[in-house]
Amino acid sequence: MSAAALERAKQILGTAVRSTHDKCGDETLVVDATTIRDTMKALRDDSELKMNFLVDLTCVDYLGNEPRFEVVYHLRSMTTGARLRVKAPLAEPADGSSPEIDSLVPLWRGANWFEREVFDMYGVKFRGHPDLRRILMYPEFVGYPMRKDYPKERRQPLVRRTPDEA
Amino acid sequence: MGLEFYTSKLGDAVNWARKYSLFQYPFVTACCGMEFMALWGPKYDVARFGAEFPRFSPRQADLLIIVGTITERQGPVLRRVYEQMCEPKWTVAFGVCASTGGFYQNYSVMPGADQCIPIDVYIPGCPPRPEQVLDALQLLQDKIQKGEGYIQKRERAEHEAVKAGKLKVVG
């Protein structure tokens, strides 16, 4: 079921697809990050695929690898039941600023909070997101805790006991 | 009453009354809450110790039970809840997360609720058995009777300071 979807996706996406695999039945496409919105729109709107449900959107930090980040999308077709995983490798800019990728909020409103979480945890910026703020951590928080180079011991307390209470 | 309060037998009588009518405010944040509910059921029956009645406003409670993991983001909330409670008040850290942060050693979890408010009794366990909680409650009652709760000790120190002329009562 999903194998056919993978074939179809390869067909309609053409050069945007960098590689594919189907290890353990997880049909996966690795695609170009710069055209991610067009790619996802094509998968969603294709009359055969109908990948109309964005199941999950997350990110992986492969510290030491190049490109460092990978934004991962999980799609499912509510019509055919097929599933696809789409990965978009994302390099960290040389000046250490946040990597950027297009937001999928215009395609799926449900992407809103997913993207805020990825921004909060990994510092990936989503171009065109309507409200890109931290979602889990507090605004005073500095850094991105799920990045592999965030120090394990680092604490950023909001409140502590006053010395006279000790 | 003032200064003689804690030095007289009246203090003992008041503490005796306090320890058998604890009104608790459960600050429940995590899975420990399930075990905490068992405590209220007929099997373990915390009512036997005069502490069965939960208050869902900290302003009407004198025992704050912190049940579950406290994150750094919850710190100001917990602090505010604690400050809203009228004195004398006591606190219990229920379970290993509230006591020390437990097995969470990461960016988001406060390493023990005692980082932001004073705690009188710590209950270990993940989650603690209801028997442990009853034990802790009795321990707290002993503390209250002896006047060894954090707030009681602070109050006493303040009275001593006033007596010694180091602290002035204004207003």
Domains defined along chain B, listed by start = 10-164 (3.40.50.12280)
Handedness of CA B60, B62, B65, B66 (dihedral sign): positive
Q: Which residue of A has its CA nearest to B77?
A: A159
Are A165 and B115 inside 8 Å of each other by CB? no
Which residue of A158, A162, A164, A165 to mutate against B (max B Cβ within 10 Å)? A158
Domains along chain A?
Answer: 2-127 (3.30.460.80)
Are B72 and A138 inside 8 Å of each other by CB? yes
Residue A164, CA distances (Å) to A71, A161, B84, B117, B118 in order: 48, 8, 19, 12, 11
pTM higher than 0.90, yes or no?
A: no
Distance of CA A121 to the CA centre of its chain: 11
Q: Cα distance from A54 to chain B (closest Cα, Å)? A: 28
Are B107 and A155 inside 8 Å of each other by CB? yes
Task: Provide the residue-wise pLDDT of chain B in tens; the chain has 171 residues.
Answer: 555 555 567 888 888 988 888 898 999 998 888 888 888 888 888 888 877 778 888 999 999 999 999 999 999 999 999 999 998 899 999 999 999 988 888 899 999 999 999 999 999 998 899 889 999 999 999 999 998 889 888 888 888 888 888 888 786
Q: Are strands A83-90 and A28-31 parallel, antiparallel or unpaired?
A: parallel
CA-closest candidate to residue A56, choices A79, A30, A83, A36: A83
Q: Which residue of B has its CA nearest to A162?
A: B116
Q: Cα distance from A33 to chain B (closest Cα, Å)? A: 29
Q: Which residue of B has its CA nearest to A154?
A: B107
Instruction: Please report residues of B whose CB lies closer than 8 A to that of A159.
Output: 75-76, 79, 116
